[in-house]
Structure 1
Amino acid sequence: MSEQLTFSLPAKEALGREDYFVSGANALAVAAVENWLNWPLNKLVLVGPTGSGKTHLAMVWAHETGARIARADALDDPVALAQGPLVIEDLHLIAGDRTAETQAFHMHNLMQEAGQPMLVTSARAPARIEFALPDLRSRMEGTSIATLEALDDALLMALVMKMFSDRQIALKPDLLNYILPRLPRSFDAVRGFVETMDARALAEKRPIGKGLARDVLAEIARE
């Protein structure tokens, strides 16, 4: 049989640094994140468009450093969060929310006082975020920035292979070559594609092959 049969095995996402593929789209950002012991003022803003892999890279850093992860609009216990390294996700989403911005400002100051490293993710650079709180704007604009570009061919291929591998599925080269030019270039799209392929293969008792891939890609295109 040329197509791969599927089995119900748990998906375990590999988050070690060795599992994170580096290409031209993310090399500089990865190097900046890896150099966290030398971040100016112990902080860095990781900027990139939706689907560029900000959360994935932040999770790798959190895995290595033991950092907690919190959304920018959910910094409800700043004293506890400031006890160690911290990832604050989606800074851009609190723009104009004075309450959330005030919490983020206090969180920033507590992390600085504690001397703990802080990685902030955002879809836009701080200078392009319309903050309501001038103090938060000045703190964020004074933070070093690392930028992720959209997925390139090499990173897209590595990501597809990794996410299937996390589910104990090895793709055949012809299937990989079929998928890559048809798949949207974003982490979220790849993750959704892999999850749907796996779920439908199990539910419909179909092999992981071109037929199923064609159906799932058509479904994605209609969304």
Structure 2
Amino acid sequence: MAEQLNFDLPPRTALGRDDFLISPSNAVAVSMIDRTPAWPLHKMVLCGPSGAGKTHLVHVWAKEVGARIVDAAALTEDMVPALANTPVALEDVDQIAQTATAQAAAFHLHNMMFAAQMPLLMTGAGAPNLWHMGLADLQSRIDAAGVAVLDAPDDTLLAAVLAKLFHDRQVQPASDVIPYLVLRMDRSFEAARQIVAVLDHACLTEQRKLTRSYAATVLDKIL
């Protein structure tokens, strides 16, 4: 599915329009997600902090294997039979720790997918052994899965993402803008999208070129 990239980080298509870029912060997790047939008991947990790219990688995987993507909180018992015969990505499983109905449905899904030998990918924040499901049998099944951890984006990845976002908006920042932004911004893809949107809007509104000093002036108002 994904392949290791050189550090000029050329893009690979994901979600039909975005690029999923690989750097040291996500390379191990991507490699583990790639090896779907080797997953222990046909299931894998993809965990990491908010903004690390879990949902993005889920969409890449789902496109590759033809998986259905389901919000764990929206899962019900009557959905399970139709889902169990296809690969499934169950998102934000950690968020159902206090929801008995969703846990029961997830437990049923685990059992039926294991019987059908279908791959199940689960996402959540933090290590899965800390999700503390109220349904102990569900927690034990989660604990039996392999675990792929996405770290927060590193400098190389954030710089590449910023460059792509600016390119998508046809903005040409001065050469020192992106290194400056990487040092100041939160370590997440969402922060990168918000910062690029704000700077693009400011440049268009004031008809300014994107220099480091102008970026600093704009960001001092919002950071």
TM-score range, shorter chain: 0.7 to 0.9
The structural deviation recorded for 1:123 is 0.5
Q: Deviations over 1:89-144 (max 9, x none)?
A: 11111112111111211122222222221111110222111211011001000111
Structure 2: distance between partners of 1:42 and 1:168: 43
Q: Deviations over 1:146-165 (max 9, x none)?
A: 11112211111122123333
Structure 1: distance between partners of 2:20 and 2:82: 29
Aligned-partner residue type, residue 126 of structure 2: R
Structure 2: distance between partners of 1:133 and 1:16: 33
Structure 2: distance between partners of 1:38 and 1:19: 26
Paired position in structure 2 for 1:53? 53
- Give the conservation status (yes or no) of the 8 Å contact 1:25–1:148: yes
Structure 2: distance between partners of 1:208 and 1:104: 51
Paired position in structure 2 for 1:6? none
Aligned-partner residue type, residue 139 of structure 2: R
Between 1 and 2, higher relative CO (CA 8 Å, sep ≥ 6) is seen in 1
Higher mean C-alpha displacement, 172-181 vs 92-101: 172-181
Which structure 2 residues correspond to residues 96-175 of structure 1 after superposition, within 5 A?
96-175=98-177
The structural deviation recorded for 1:16 is 7.1
Paired position in structure 2 for 1:15? 14
Higher mean C-alpha displacement, 15-24 vs 85-94: 15-24
Distance of aligned partners of 1:165 and 1:82 in 2 relative to their CA distance in 1, 3 Å threshold: farther
Distance of aligned partners of 1:162 and 1:37 in 2 relative to their CA distance in 1, 3 Å threshold: farther
Of 82, 85, 95, 2:84 maps to 82
User: What's the TM-score once normalised by structure 2's chain length?
Assistant: 0.81
Paired position in structure 2 for 1:209? 210
Paired position in structure 2 for 1:179? 181
Structure 2: distance between partners of 1:219 and 1:115: 53
Q: Deviations over 1:39-63 (max 9, x none)?
A: 1221100111112111121121122
Distance of aligned partners of 1:164 and 1:82 in 2 relative to their CA distance in 1, 3 Å threshold: farther
Structure 1: distance between partners of 2:167 and 2:50: 23
- Give the conservation status (yes or no) of the 8 Å contact 2:25–2:153: yes
Between Structure 1 and Structure 2, how many residues are aligned? 208
- Give the conservation status (yes or no) of the 8 Å contact 2:40–2:144: no
Aligned-partner residue type, residue 196 of structure 2: V
Give structure 1 stretches of 5+ with no counterpart. 1-12
- Give the conservation status (yes or no) of the 8 Å contact 1:44–1:144: yes
The structural deviation recorded for 1:214 is 3.4
Structure 2: distance between partners of 1:208 and 1:108: 54
- Give the conservation status (yes or no) of the 8 Å contact 2:44–2:120: yes
Distance of aligned partners of 1:105 and 1:207 in 2 relative to their CA distance in 1, 3 Å threshold: farther
Aligned-partner residue type, residue 165 of structure 1: H
- Give the conservation status (yes or no) of the 8 Å contact 2:46–2:149: yes
User: What's the TM-score once normalised by structure 1's chain length?
Assistant: 0.81
Give structure 2 stretches of 5+ with no counterpart. 1-11
